[in-house]
Amino acid sequence: MRILQLIVMILFLTACGTVEHNVRVTDEQAFRPETKILVAEVSNKTGETFDIDVEQMLREAMIKELTRENLLGKAGDPGLISMNVNIIEYRKGDAFKRWLWPGYGSTVLVVEATLLDAEGNVDATAKANRSVDAGGGYTVGAWKKIFENVSADLVSDLKANISGTTVK
């Protein structure tokens, strides 16, 4: 009986999911140590409407992460790159369903970003994908936290390219 309780507790407190992210740089000259990034547009391309403002949540998470990494730019900054981010897929999910049956009730966020120079030329494209597919109590609120996680993935990849350490 004790072993069964332990197994249930472990399943309740752990989370499993996927994490994928990458950047494809088309103009290496655009990424210099002084490069700053302006979040220009954030769009919901899922074709769905949600009970939360997914665009605003992603915008705020991106700005917070860029600020934390000292990469947030504003109009007029030298080396400014504009970033447009599209939400390709979002599923809010449900922690209780994930706990009952892994994969059922998954929280998913897939975004694609395009980074443009001042003339509108594409300097880089980036994609990030995260999901929370299993877990219980620990995953409550994943529908909100996933925006922060995806933003951190994108910004860390971009920072690596800006500092000259290309992400594989």
- Between CA 92 and CA 49 the distance in angstroms is 12
Give the tens place of pLDDT for each residue, 44-85: 999 999 999 999 999 999 999 999 999 999 988 888 999 999
On whether residue 167 sits in a domain, the answer given is no
How many separate domains does the chain show?
Answer: 1
Q: Provide the residue range defining the domain that includes 84.
A: 2-162
pTM here?
0.82
Instruction: Give 2 or 27, the one with higher predicted confidence.
Output: 27
On whether residue 94 sits in a domain, the answer given is yes
Instruction: Give 109 or 10, the one with higher predicted confidence.
Output: 109
On whether residue 168 sits in a domain, the answer given is no
Give the tens place of pLDDT for each residue, 142-163: 788 999 999 999 999 999 888 7
Using the 8-state DSSP alphabet, how is residue 114 labeled? E
Count of other CB atoms within 10 angstroms of residue 53: 11
On whether residue 127 sits in a domain, the answer given is yes
Residue 64: give its domain's CATH number. 3.30.160
Which residues have C-beta within 8 Å of that of residue 111, sequence separation ≥ 6?
A: 58, 85, 86, 87, 88, 127, 128, 129, 150, 154
On whether residue 90 sits in a domain, the answer given is yes
Q: Where are the alpha helices (DSSP H) in 14-109?
A: 54-68, 95-100
On whether residue 110 sits in a domain, the answer given is yes
Contact of 111 with 150, CB cutoff 8 Å:
yes
Dihedrals φ, ψ of 70, to 5°?
Answer: 60, 40
